[in-house]
Amino acid sequence: MTARALRVTTKQASHHVLVDSDGSIAEANEFLSALQTRGLSPQTIRAYAYDLLLFYRWMHATGKVLRELAPSDLLDFIAAQRAAKSEPKSINRRLTTVRLLYRFWLDRELGVGARLSLPSPHYKGPGRDHYLGIHQLRRRGVRTLRVIEPRKLVDPLTPEQVRAFLRSLIRYRDLSIVYLMLLCGLRSHEVLALRVGDIVGSDARIRVSGKGGRERALPLPDVLAQAIRQYQQFERPGNCAGDRLFLALQGKQRGQPMTLAGLRNLFRHRRKRALLTTANPHRFRHTFGADMARAGVRLPILQLMMGHTDLKTTLQYVRLSMADVADEFRVALTKLAARYRHRGS
């Protein structure tokens, strides 16, 4: 029987475990349990669990076991992932997960050795990073095994796409959710984790619990505050368990906290329309970041608003999209045409 991931819910919390035909996969589940004890978020542990699921399926198919893995086996795993059309970024994340699991059990590194270790990139001595020039470079003797990740531009939604999506919404709850992503840059799980008390109307701010339990406060736009008030007044069930802000509004789950599947359905059905094929939660968050960068918001401020721990992540919102490049080019071309226009033309 193929290994699979199961979500186990207790009174304290819910977490994921791996099982196969012989029962629990103990070495993976002890690792996941240690992560939970350290306080990692359920979303992070879920990601680790599904990375390990793919790795254990590969080990089962190839007859490998964790304690007997050779460093070169990682190359075979990479080849299998490439054959399955996995994205380079996903492959690198899974390699990191596997190395952490291996280190957890054997207290040594996997993926460093003969025919795997690569020299570090050319080092020019003490200097600054080439993005902002504010971080000192650290010398690294050996680079761990990774797949080259192409740098992709994720274009934000156009104003026409945003307006079309907003016009398709018929509930104040759904409008509030989209505004939280579009006007405040919240992630999906941050939206679902909001509690009634996190909306501080008197102070016009939102209290957000981000990755790793890191809290941040954001201004509450007037249009969002109005949508939330209308949702609470006209749609939110009165008799409900807990104080989560967003609840299921119909069916057997009415009054229960809205799930990630319910949130995804809000976007999935609308992506069937020709203009909205790229409208997903992350794209709305990306649009917020791009809009703030275009408006001239300074990088450290944008980093705090987005809840990023690494400034390099925030930089992706500063990189120009093709639409931005085309707009700037047209403006410049108009000026050049006027400058070099022949007087007799």
pLDDT in tens, 33-69: 998 888 888 888 889 999 999 999 999 999 999 999 9
Q: What percent of the chain has pLDDT over 90?
A: 43
Angle, CA 261 vertex, CA 224 and CA 34 arms, to 5°: 105
Confidence of residue 122 (pLDDT cuts 50, 70, 90): very low
For residue 115, pLDDT over 70 is answered with no
The CATH class that applies to domain 4-114 reads mainly alpha
Single-letter code of the amino acid located at 208: V
Of the given ranges (10-14, 235-239, 245-249, 304-308), which has the lowest mean pLDDT?
10-14
Of the given ranges (7-11, 96-100, 186-190, 248-252), which has the lowest mean pLDDT?
7-11
For tokens 């001239």, name the residue: 296
* Average pLDDT along the chain: 84
Please check whether residue 113 is in contact with residue 143, taking contact to mean a CB–CB distance below 8 angstroms. no
Give 159-323's CATH code, choosing from 3.30.2310.20, 1.10.443.10, 3.20.20.70, 1.10.357.10.
1.10.443.10
For tokens 């450290």, name the residue: 300
In the DSSP assignment, the letter for residue 68 is: G
Reading across the β-sheet that carries 199-200, which strands appear in turn? 199-200, 205-209, 215-219
Average pLDDT value for residue range 155-160: 88
- How far is residue 55 from each of residues 104, 195, 276, measured CA to CA in Å? 16, 36, 35
Of the given ranges (34-43, 108-117, 192-201), which has the lowest mean pLDDT?
108-117
- List the domain boundaries for the chain: 4-114, 159-323
User: Which comes out higher in pLDDT, residue 255 or 110?
Assistant: 255
Confidence of residue 4 (pLDDT cuts 50, 70, 90): confident
Average pLDDT value for residue range 134-146: 60
For 286-329, the pLDDT digits (tens) are 999 989 988 888 888 988 999 888 877 787 777 655 566 677 77
Please check whether residue 26 is in contact with residue 17, taking contact to mean a CB–CB distance below 8 angstroms. no
Work out the burial of residue 267: count CB atoms within 10 Å of its CB; fewer than 13 is exposed, 13-18 middle, 19 or more buried. buried
**Cα(206)–Cα(159) distance, integer angstroms:** 25
For 205-234, the pLDDT digits (tens) are 999 988 777 889 999 999 999 999 999 999
In the DSSP assignment, the letter for residue 195 is: B
Q: Where are the alpha helices (DSSP H) in the chain?
A: 26-38, 42-62, 73-83, 88-106, 159-167, 172-184, 188-193, 222-234, 260-268, 281-294, 299-306, 311-315, 322-340
For 89-100, the pLDDT digits (tens) are 899 999 999 999
- Tell me, what's the pLDDT at 120? 47
**Cα(244)–Cα(195) distance, integer angstroms:** 4
Q: Cβ of 334: how many Cβ atoms within 10 Å?
A: 10
